Amino acid sequence: MTTWQLPLLWLMLAAYTGSFMLYVFSAWSKKENMRKPALYAAYLGLLMNLAVLILRTYLIKGLPLNNGYEFGLCFAAAVMVTFVFMERKFKLDFLGLFVLPIVVLLSCWLINLDLSVEPIMPALRSYWLAIHVSAAVIAYGAFAISFAIAIAYLVKMNKAEKKELKKLDELSYKAIFVGLPFLTIMLVTGSVWAQYAWGSFWSWDPKETWALITWLIYAGYLHTRFLGWQGKRSAWLAVLGFAAVIFTLYGVSYLMAGMHSYIG
Amino acid sequence: MMGMLRFLSSMKLAVLLIVGIALFSILATIFPEVDAFSSWTFRLLVIAFFVNLSLCTIKILPKFWRQLHRKPADIVVSEDAENIEVPLEELSQWICEQRYKIYREEQGDVVKLLAVKGKMGLAAPHVLHIALLVILVGCLAYTFNESGAFMAYPEQKPLLPLELRERYGEDSYVEVISFETAFDKNGAIDNWITTFNLYLAGQLVGEQVQTMVNKPYQYKDLVIYQNSYGVQHLVEISGSPNEVENGTYALPDNNVFFLNGNHLIVANTNDGHFLHYGGDGTDQTGTYVTNGDKVDLGDGICVEYLEESAYTVLEVKTVRGLSIVFFGFLLATIASMLFWGGRYQEIQVLYRRQQGRAYVRFYSKSPMVVENMQEKWQEHWGNDKEEK
């Protein structure tokens, strides 16, 4: 059944890519009626994404949170679930245009990973793993959405009405407001776990340090809001924050050696 | 002086320090060869951050406390505030529907309503600030701990590292009873477990205790971690022209041992123990050996493979200050959950019974929240307030 993962992943990629293209076509041709098929394709992609996750759960007989591939699957699902929720609740029918590229790129990366089931190392056999990685999935999912909304803001800045821009600014802020507490929980649980597993709650490992840098950027974002920052400046800060997320997840794994090197 | 204090406790300085620490950390990961996090520049940044956070907390906490315990009598709503003619009960009901908790106080003709929402959210940043201060204090205490690692075979009695013996007494050691690899039901490695007795100053304080990955052994503030493990190959060398090379050796797995000017390497492979002799060790010539095998290496040199033995590597450290750090972590987690209570907001109402008119003021630290509150108010009461 391990081999079933790849076709499902291809279907997931195809659906997400199709959805993105429909969104692009809809925006380019200004045909509102294309948005519904785009959304249905996104649902189909999410369904495939969840199917791979369920299959993986069955294959590894546990929560799929043990390596980069499993994390990537959960991350893509978290981004899409949040997208569907935001799309429906706040009627942001253009949001797909900015969210889908994230999951398309993520799916392309996932397809190229080793999909085989390997036993996990003793250090990862801990209940802290589930809490730590779940918090990361939710936090990074929320930040991805805040990033997509911030990009939407920057793109629409000179065209959209003030009210719509204000709504985008507020939603990007809200997504960060949801994500940052989860990022804090991720850092805390990771530190406690590191103390038990490695004998040190903080080792300035590149992954840890970049997670802290991400936390600092978003903490800075919240503080600058109190200093009156909003709109364009906040949007750029949200973009910077997500760049830090991506670097923490992928840049560090591929470019820097460290204690978290197993996740790549 | 006051100006200096104001600056040191300001949010502007906080943002500058956050940027400074973030930039410094980025540079530190780009140039890992420089031990940047031990530098005085970084320490000064952290000290400045601690001072800023402390002063900010001291400045804000009394205000926060007053706000938390505010009574309707404390509110001041001027008569040029937003106002509307409406029955008090109808207004109260609408405010309740918006999920505000209402505190009410009557002073003759005047009724004062204080409607609040998001009290937990009000506490969250303060709890998080305190959590960060606690963590930083804990980290400072933690830096004064002693630590060290050592390797040991079963039945050996290695002394604790010197730093720890200085603290616990010279005759402090670990008596390793066994070291084993535990496997799960699928045959994969589940854990590495060392069973040992712990002696501090000659006294047995831990008998037949175990340490394993993710579950270290703790005795008061001394913790023993299963840090690592390794394999060595016991071999008996005889017949070497260089007499001093003859004898029994424990060769670390896949490491070079110089014998009569040549490389002797024993390495574990999927097919067994592979013994290589000669050259520089890069060629693949050699033979597989099992316990008791004797290999003639030429020039009269003979190597007898005795057995493979695993050793454990234990890390011993004191963890003073750790409970403070963990308490800080707990506070940070609580603060994170408090954030989900939403942002703090107030509707302050001064109601004049005789006029049947309510004067309303919206309050939140975030101007955006105030705007949203005003929008909701306008949506409901805005255009037809006179009728209402």
**Residues B205-220: tens digit of each pLDDT:** 999 999 999 999 999 9
At A162 the pLDDT is 85
pLDDT tier for residue A163 given thresholds of 50, 70 and 90: confident
**pLDDT at A1 > cutoff 80:** no
Does a structural domain hold residue A162? yes
pLDDT tier for residue B174 given thresholds of 50, 70 and 90: very high
Residues of B in Cβ contact (< 8 Å) with A126: 214
Q: Mark whether A114 and A172 lie in a shared domain.
A: no
Instruction: Find the mean pLDDT for residues A196-204.
Output: 92
Contacts of residue B128, Cβ cutoff 8 Å, sequence gap at least 6: A184, B331, B332, B335, B336, B339
Q: Between chain A and chain B, how many beta carbons pairs sit less than 8 Å apart?
A: 108
pLDDT digits (tens, 9 = 90+) for A14-35: 999 999 999 999 988 888 788 8
Assess contact for B144 and B320: CB atoms under 8 A.
Answer: yes
Instruction: Find the mean pLDDT for residues B128-133.
Output: 96
Residues of A in Cβ contact (< 8 Å) with B315: 199
Instruction: Find the mean pLDDT for residues A77-90.
Output: 91
Does a structural domain hold residue A246? yes
CB contact under 8 A, B215 and A216: no
Q: Mark whether A49 and A109 lie in a shared domain.
A: yes
Q: Mark whether A10 and A110 lie in a shared domain.
A: yes
Does a structural domain hold residue A140? no
**pLDDT at A92 > cutoff 50:** yes
Rounded to a whole number of angstroms, the distance between the first and last alpha carbons of chain B is: 54
Q: Map tokens 């408090």 to a residue.
A: B338
CB contact under 8 A, B26 and A213: yes
Q: Mark whether A199 and A237 lie in a shared domain.
A: yes
Q: Mark whether A61 and A159 lie in a shared domain.
A: no
**pLDDT at A260 > cutoff 80:** no
Q: Mark whether A66 and A167 lie in a shared domain.
A: no
Residues of B in Cβ contact (< 8 Å) with A181: 335-337, 339-340
Does a structural domain hold residue A138? no
Assess contact for A126 and A187: CB atoms under 8 A.
Answer: no
At B284 the pLDDT is 63
Q: Mark whether A262 and A151 lie in a shared domain.
A: yes
At B386 the pLDDT is 47
- Which of A85, A210, A185, A187 lies closest to A145, judged by CA? A85
- Residue A228 structural domain: 146-264
- Total domain count, chain A: 2
Min distance A260 CA to chain B CA atoms (Å): 14
Q: Mark whether A153 and A248 lie in a shared domain.
A: yes
Instruction: Find the mean pLDDT for residues A232-238.
Output: 95
At A35 the pLDDT is 85
Kindly identify which residue of chain A lies nearest to residue B331, measuring between CA atoms. Answer: A188
pLDDT tier for residue B382 given thresholds of 50, 70 and 90: confident
Return the HEC string of A67-131.
CHHHHHHHHHHHHHHHHHHHHHHHCCCCCHHHHHHHHHHHHHHHHCCCCCCCCCCHHHCCHHHHH
Residues of A in Cβ contact (< 8 Å) with B335: 181, 184
Q: Mark whether A262 and A198 lie in a shared domain.
A: yes
Does a structural domain hold residue A197? yes
**pLDDT at B383 > cutoff 60:** no
At B298 the pLDDT is 84
Q: How far is CA B284 from the centre of its chain?
A: 46
Instruction: Find the mean pLDDT for residues B195-210.
Output: 96
Q: Map tokens 């649980």 to a residue.
A: A189
Does a structural domain hold residue A21? yes
* Interface ipTM > 0.85: yes
Q: Mark whether A153 and A116 lie in a shared domain.
A: no
Q: Mark whether A168 and A228 lie in a shared domain.
A: yes
pLDDT digits (tens, 9 = 90+) for B299-332: 889 999 999 988 999 999 999 999 999 999 999 9
pLDDT digits (tens, 9 = 90+) for B68-103: 888 998 888 887 888 889 999 999 999 999 999 999
**Phi, psi angles (nearest 5°) of residue A210:** -70, -30
Euclidean distance between CA atoms B184 and B275, whole angstroms: 31
Euclidean distance between CA atoms A118 and A263, whole angstroms: 13
Q: Map tokens 């050699």 to a residue.
A: B286
pLDDT digits (tens, 9 = 90+) for B36-54: 999 999 999 999 999 999 9
